[in-house]
Amino acid sequence: MNSLLAIKSYGQQIWLDNLSRTLLREGGLKRLVAEDGINGVTSNPSIFHKAVSESPYYKDDLALLKGSANSAEARYEALVVPDVREACDILHASYLDSEGDAGYVSLEVSPHLANDEEGTVAAAHRLRAAVGRENVLIKVPSTPTSIRAFERLTAEGVNVNVTLMFSIRHQEAVAQAYIRGARNWVETGGDPRSLKSVASIFLSRVDTHVDKKLEAIGSAAALALRGMSAVSMSKLAYRRYQESFHGPAFADLAKLGVRPQYPLWASTGTKNSAYRDVLYVETLIGAETVNTVPDATLAAFRDHGVAECTVSKNTGEAQAHIDALAKLDINLDEVGEQLQIEGVNLFVEAFDKLLALME
């Protein structure tokens, strides 16, 4: 069996971390859905910058848009919203078959709004309306300001992919915001089954950052901890997810049919060539999770990945790893705060480069 299809038997969804007109016009996305069981797509400013820069299918529309009086951001949205809409249509059968649990396409608000609550809420509603598909997820970051926006959006029935999460501290704040927003939505008459949200926890950047700290320490004990921080954190995050959404805090909402907010493993392409190229897929397979995978990692797992339930295994070892880091004065919550700031800045940089293509 195709290893990617085998993952589905363990209750995990595999989403593609890429979107471009090349994928759409040349049938690539349809093939991935049909042959590999891909049942979701994520995008971000970096992905769209690469797509618009490299795909020939944007050339004519971009030339027309450049002649309009619209702002660069409005031109960008006019260029990519049809792509998101088309991807939503391709995945709509998955959305229907899963009764709204899968088949989503994510579109991100401007990263310049990361610290603008009102702007984030307004942009989310605007983009959702522009796409006009029930299986779109609007992406907002997990900065404190944007978490407040996320809670409001959930209370208003907007389905959200919360992104740029780098720690269990981020996960806890986002989970509580989802529960509060969902309760508000239901109490004001909203349909419990219509809500969908995922919490995107970034992995490879955590290991890149922590490994540098461990190498700077340089002891044998420190060096032995390299390459395991992101997976250890994620296994503990999954355990925390189960406590939050399969415990008393969510029980009343679950009875009404509100879906839990699945953990989504993001940034799952291995950046260190010394590590197995499917590290962040093989080690985190399990029920009620999503892994959004870039093309190269998808191909690697299809070729030699091993599918088995792993996310809930070795949690004791994961905790021991986190404890060992703490003894070396490496606090993953503090690492997460720094990485989130850097992540927002990187997305702003990519977004500005993308808008420059619209000029």
Residues assigned a catalytic role: 139
* Residues 301-309: contacts with CB under 8 Å, at least 24 apart: 301/3, 301/4, 302/2, 302/3, 302/4, 302/36, 304/3, 304/278, 305/3, 305/4, 305/278, 305/281, 306/3, 306/282, 307/3, 307/4, 307/6, 307/7, 307/9, 307/10, 307/282, 308/10, 309/10, 309/285
Q: Which residues, listed in sequence order, are joined to residue 165 by a DSSP beta bridge?
A: 201
Residue written as token pair 């979701």 = 40
Exposure on the CB side of residue 31, measured as CA atoms within 13 A: 9
CB-based contacts of 64: which residues, under 8 Å, 6+ apart? none
Residues 65 and 78 sit within 8 Å (Cβ to Cβ): yes
CA angle 87, 179, 244 (to 5 degrees): 100
- First-last CA distance in the chain: 48
